[in-house]
Amino acid sequence: MTDDSPAPRRPAASTPTGAGTLLRLLRDGTPRTRSELSSLTGLARSTVTGRIDALLSAGLIAPSGETASTGGRPPATFAFNPGARLTLGADLGATHARLAVTDLAGAVLAQANADLDIALGPEAVLDWVIDRGHKLLEEVGRPAEDLLGIGIGLPGPVEHSTGRAVNPPIMPGWDGFDVPDYVMRRIAVPVLVDNDVNIMALGEHFAAWPDSEHLLFIKAATGIGCGIIAGGRVYRGAQGAAGDMGHIKVSGADEAHCRCGNTGCLEAVASGAAIAAKLTEQGVKASGSLDVVELARSGSVPALRLIRQAGRDIGEVLAGAVNFFNPSIIVIGGSLALAGDHLIAGVREVIYQRSLPLATRHLRIAAARTGETSGAIGAGVMVIEHALDPDRVDALLR
């Protein structure tokens, strides 16, 4: 299953309803009685009881006290048990790595950050993920056997169905590398891999905007990318390339050469690397996104001016996306967003000028709320949504 597949259908009354569907109902955190679950699913009370027993045995639900009695013995309630299993989420960037162990509700139990160059190659980087992941499990006092799965985000194009990077421009040695197989040989659990911006979008949506069905998450850092949430789920497109807005052409930028081989790409004009290069040309020393952010925070007028213009350039590309996709919210994240309101102000300026009034009537443009943890959380959520799909829960219990 991929996150852009259709949502599981609610079973008709004549269709057998497995324990996985009961678990899906209970994952909202509301304790329910057997009678309530029977009423919601249309199943006989005895059938519900059998499936509750299976979920209890697996530890996926737990007793949650009793409701008020209307006569006789008070009925017992049951609730989702997020502590039953764990996930390990890894957000790997160009020069950083972030890990988080979460429970099944996406709550972070332990985390670790490190400066780690993705160009070291897949074996070195993934060995760090595996070894540091084991240490995080030790910190929370849980064995690797309690892992439901491992989610990994990579800073380049990923074929989600295979977990392999495809022609990644900044990841030497990763092209076609079988990430799931390599990791599963060290930790025998399911491994899911996606583009880092997709998992950041998933984490931000899950943690901060769960009621927004249609969301665009923009990562503005060393590069520029977009994660798309459509109908509450990650949308990847036919080959997993949806949202690669960094290589959309910006008008009037023909002189900007992009690492993809084209000219005028948004990433070549408005990324942290591009701004740092422009500052250096103006005699202001800057080697990357973090230097740009520090200069902006210190009040550097050239840095602030270039960040504002970068926001306008990003807004120019996004204006077309707003008209085409009609999101309810655009979330701006990545290191450049840490420079203050200047980037977002530039984005807003152009989007509200260039997009249709109907498309922007209720549109929100906001800074990311989950900060640096969004990718690691999203990687864990990717595992949770995959593994707790009702059909997979039924297979697990069998």
pLDDT one-digit tens code per residue, 162-179? 999 999 888 999 999 999
Give dist(CA 247, CA 207) in Å, integer. Answer: 28
Q: How confident is the model at residue 197 (pLDDT cuts 50, 70, 90)?
A: very high
Q: Specify the CATH number for the domain of residue 26.
A: 1.10.10.10
Domain-embedded: residue 355: yes
Cross-strand pairs, 113? 98
Both 75 and 90 in one domain: the answer is no
Domain-embedded: residue 117: yes
Domain-embedded: residue 133: yes
pLDDT one-digit tens code per residue, 231-290? 999 999 988 889 999 999 998 898 899 988 899 999 999 999 999 999 999 999 999 899
**Mean of the per-residue pLDDT values of the chain:** 91
Both 215 and 305 in one domain: the answer is yes
Which of the pair, 76 or 72, is modelled with greater confidence? 76
pLDDT one-digit tens code per residue, 114-163? 999 999 999 999 999 999 999 999 999 999 999 999 999 999 899 999 99
Domain assignment of residue 46, given as a range: 19-80
Both 218 and 280 in one domain: the answer is yes
Domain-embedded: residue 225: yes
12 has pLDDT over 90: no
- Mean pLDDT lowest among 66-80, 260-274, 289-303, 337-351: 66-80
Measured in degrees and rounded to the nearest 5, phi and psi for residue 193 equal -130, 140
Domain-embedded: residue 11: no
pLDDT one-digit tens code per residue, 44-68? 999 999 999 999 999 999 998 766 5
Both 48 and 92 in one domain: the answer is no
Both 235 and 334 in one domain: the answer is yes
Tokens 């190659």 sit at which residue?
A: 121
Q: How confident is the model at residue 340 (pLDDT cuts 50, 70, 90)?
A: confident
Both 225 and 355 in one domain: the answer is yes
Domain-embedded: residue 55: yes
| Three-state DSSP string of 179-235 | HHHHHHCCCCCCEEEEEHHHHHHHHHHHHHCCCCCCEEEEEECCCEEEEEEECCEEE
End-to-end CA distance of the chain: 19
Both 96 and 173 in one domain: the answer is yes
Domain-embedded: residue 6: no
The total number of structural domains in the chain stands at 3
> H helices within 230-356, ranges in order?
266-270, 272-281, 289-297, 301-325, 342-354
Both 296 and 172 in one domain: the answer is no
Both 222 and 336 in one domain: the answer is yes
Both 165 and 231 in one domain: the answer is no
- Mean pLDDT lowest among 33-47, 68-82, 172-186, 357-371: 68-82
Both 91 and 192 in one domain: the answer is yes
Both 322 and 349 in one domain: the answer is yes
pTM above 0.75, yes or no: yes
Q: Specify the CATH number for the domain of residue 122.
A: 3.30.420.40
- Taking alpha carbons only, the member of 173, 178, 174, 147 closest to residue 161 is 178
